[in-house]
Structure 1
């Protein structure tokens, strides 16, 4: 969302917000706005919030003639309504931010006790409260932040044994993955050449002992520091190193 200032006849100025198409990082969004002579949107008072809301709730028609609404955007910790988007007849709900800027998921409430919504999730029929697949592309760190925002015991999935790996396989059995890839909770330090791969949660043994690495691993031992699962030719899921800035769907796990 970009903004420009319009000068009125009474020597006052008013912000006009413009929704830019596509998904970008904050840095790329800032550059995009600057290239058009605009600034990245900011909200400083209730009047600006109302103007911002009006700019983000107008319907947009997709190339397939299907109606969708603008995505949820958070500026300075302020959030707009989380609309539902429809693509290929399947509806999903985008993540919503609370006033503190923290993402919440379906079934949670914001600080003012108003229900909030999240990306649509798929759960394993064997473990409905255990694994949650979110078919929305995020960077690895934003996926981790989203999972953690679901509760103190939620994290990117930690595949520490064959049982969990089998459950994840079951969860994704009928899911069409973007590029056949999905984020999991694997990471390694950027400051060491031979840094070990670790799980992100302190609730499990961080050091990776059980593994399902792809035969091509590692792809880039210098620059890749985050872990993903990829679907290989026979349908199996294997692990690979990846750029943490890549945007993929992800799996959250309730670590009870």
Structure 2
């Protein structure tokens, strides 16, 4: 499929916006995916191409947050390995399950994640009181949650960043900004793992991938610069606003 100049510009701009939003919060897929559908790509091709293009935005966002990744190598290796497996499994599910198999549960997942983000300070404090100091790597609970979110991210990916922020904010003894930095790395890993699967067994719209890749890379850099300046309270508020908008969009489509 060949895009017109204006369709190409639209996809590129959507990539910039998605990259910026993903770097700060997540849910950028809810911008690029509908745009790819609007310019004529079939749902599965749009989903596959979107995920592959957004890898580059997640990488640029992670680079932008690199100062918040200092000392995080052990947890990045542990969670990254789990996220890789989850992303690959999610990609396989996308290819074998009926289209829209997860649609009904996605808004509920995002809503739960938003509640976790809002209550994170209180829940983290209560968890520490009950169990002592939180596990530095989040324990088995975070490994399981990362795998599950990875599967979801490989399958569709909308708001996987919000889901990760919700669970990591509670289970890790890290600031919200450092959690956000980890989230960007894991999102890149999930999208890359699913992308590797798609390259070999799925139809890929390479022009769309290229446009979203370039756009999201630029957006990721801009998003990181903005996101790092936000206080925890403001960042939490941004997450809630974007997540709520994502729920509304999914319910109304």
Tell whether the structures are fold-level matches, with TM greater than 0.5. Answer: no
Q: Normalized against structure 1, the TM-score is what?
A: 0.25
Structure richer in helix, relative to its length:
2
Larger radius of gyration between Structure 1 and Structure 2: 1
Higher strand share: 1
> What TM-score do the two structures reach when normalised by structure 2?
0.25
